[in-house]
Amino acid sequence: GLTIIAEFQPTSLILSALQDLPLGLWPCRSKMEKHLQVISVMQWVISFLALGVACTALLIYIFCTDCWLIAAIYIAWLIFDWNTPKQGGRRSSWVRNWTVWTYFRDYFPIRLIKTHDLLPSRNYIFGYHPHGIFCFGGFCNFGTEATGFSKKFPGIKPSLATLAGNFRFPILRDYLMSGGICPVNRNSIDYLLSQNGTGNAVIIVVGGAAESLHCTPGLNSVTLKNRKGFVRLALRKGADLVPVYSFGENDAYKQVIFDEGTVWKSLQKKLQKILGFAPCLFFGSSWGIVPFSNPITTIVGEPITVPKIEDASEETVNLYHAMYIKSLQCLFDKYKTRFGLKESDVLHIH
């Protein structure tokens, strides 16, 4: 699983204003645009790493000052609004269309490719692969409109699922919901697929934290062999399964991979169980935290029609799980040579 954060309105307004400056006022337009792209990515990465904790600390601080009433009112609102993330959230088309996301998209750049139409009369579960470190492709394509999801899939409403713990942080929860992001738990997904009509697409990063610990440039590997919960969910709700693969997702950062059995590897796994996400040791192009500007291309594959079976047998689950794996492998093999891979490269499924 991964965490995705929107940004403050002033940032979007500043970027929009800078974009609209007359050409003569730019010292070097291409250089300035590159700086804006780096800023847009950095604000998102820093938000992911620190926004939730910073907002919590700020709220506690305000509560201890003369402005304590503001903090008290917000806490009361937080308690009243606690279940909203589990009930569809508060999606904002305005936030999803912020100018900052176009700079975010162009930094890598990120592209979304549609291979088949999706029917608004059906609900869908997208399996997103691979996780990468920050899941840049997943966020940009499904948490914003920068790559034109709504135009490419009219009538389909995407909801990117991330760690439920992120929705316990003040302010952060509201930014996540504004992008159409939801908790990856049963209550939230059940609501979207059974009480929110049709035309819903829940995007689940199937490999989750375990997969992020193994991602590294040039590696085509996904954690999927024993991940069957999303298939059971699809059968229970009668939601079609859609394989999604992002070429280049693992190329955003280089990661220090610890060998199995080492103290560091054991520590990573323990922290993963406690925190819900994997504490990776990674580095990028600048200051170690800016990702490499390698292209990320997300391919949305052909949907697999799934019947509604309330209590599916293990045999049925295994059947559709095998169908999903085969479909994902075919998707990878069909497009791999178009995005820098060799014909001999294979997708490793663990």
Q: What is the pLDDT of residues 96-110, one digit of tens each?
A: 999 999 999 999 999
Question: What's the chain's length in residues?
Answer: 350
Candidates 165, 166, 158, 159; CA nearest to 181 is 159
Q: Tokens standing for 195?
A: 């009480």
Q: What is the pLDDT of residue 101?
A: 97
Using the CB atoms, write b or e for 78-98: b if 16+ within 10 Å.
Answer: beeeeeebbebbebbeebbeb
Percent pLDDT > 70 in the chain is 91
Candidates 267, 273, 285, 324; CA nearest to 301 is 324
Per-residue CA distances from 102 to 16, 106, 135 (Å): 10, 6, 17
The Cα 246–Cα 299 span in angstroms is 6
Does residue 12 carry a pLDDT above 60?
no
Q: What is the pLDDT of residue 123?
A: 97
Per-residue CA distances from 118 to 114, 126, 268, 330 (Å): 10, 11, 39, 19
Identify whether the C-beta of residue 311 lies closer than 8 Å to the C-beta of residue 62. Answer: no
Identify whether the C-beta of residue 269 lies closer than 8 Å to the C-beta of residue 331. Answer: no
Identify whether the C-beta of residue 62 lies closer than 8 Å to the C-beta of residue 71. Answer: yes
Q: Is 8 left (phi over 0), alpha (psi -120 to 50) or beta?
A: beta
Q: What is the pLDDT of residue 268?
A: 72
Q: What is the pLDDT of residue 26?
A: 52
Q: Enumerate the β-bridge partners of residue 337.
A: none
The pLDDT confidence band at residue 7, using thresholds 50, 70 and 90, is very low
Q: What mean pLDDT is reported for the chain?
A: 89
- In eight-state DSSP terms, residue 110 is E
Q: What is the pLDDT of residue 306?
A: 97
- Residue whose tokens read 């059974």: 194
Q: What is the pLDDT of residue 4?
A: 41
The pLDDT confidence band at residue 10, using thresholds 50, 70 and 90, is low
Does residue 244 carry a pLDDT above 60?
yes
Where exactly are the structural domains of the chain? 31-349
Identify the three-state secondary structure at position 61: helix
Candidates 211, 52, 195; CA nearest to 127 is 211
Q: What is the pLDDT of residue 15?
A: 57
Q: Tokens standing for 131?
A: 């996780």
Which pairing describes strands 296-300 and 240-247: parallel, antiparallel, or unpaired? Answer: antiparallel
Per-residue pLDDT tens over the stretch 289-321:
899 999 999 999 999 999 999 999 999 999 999
The pLDDT confidence band at residue 269, using thresholds 50, 70 and 90, is confident
Per-residue pLDDT tens over the stretch 185-202:
989 999 999 988 999 999
Does residue 5 carry a pLDDT above 60?
no
Per-residue pLDDT tens over the stretch 144-182:
999 999 999 999 999 999 989 899 999 999 999 999 999
Q: What is the pLDDT of residue 19?
A: 56
Percent pLDDT > 90 in the chain is 72
Does residue 76 carry a pLDDT above 80?
yes
Does residue 21 carry a pLDDT above 70?
no
The pLDDT confidence band at residue 2, using thresholds 50, 70 and 90, is very low
Does residue 67 carry a pLDDT above 90?
yes
**CATH architecture label of 31-349:** 3-Layer(aba) Sandwich (3.40)
Orientation angle between helical segments 229-237 and 186-194, nearest 10 degrees: 30
The Cα 108–Cα 41 span in angstroms is 9
Does residue 242 carry a pLDDT above 90?
yes
The Cα 339–Cα 235 span in angstroms is 33
The pLDDT confidence band at residue 265, using thresholds 50, 70 and 90, is confident
Per-residue CA distances from 327 to 66, 179, 321, 331, 333 (Å): 60, 29, 10, 6, 10
Q: What is the pLDDT of residue 58?
A: 95
Q: What are phi and psi of 142, to 5 degrees?
A: -115, -15
Which is more confidently placed, 323 or 255? 323
Does residue 48 carry a pLDDT above 60?
yes
Q: What is the pLDDT of residue 27?
A: 56
Does residue 277 carry a pLDDT above 80?
no
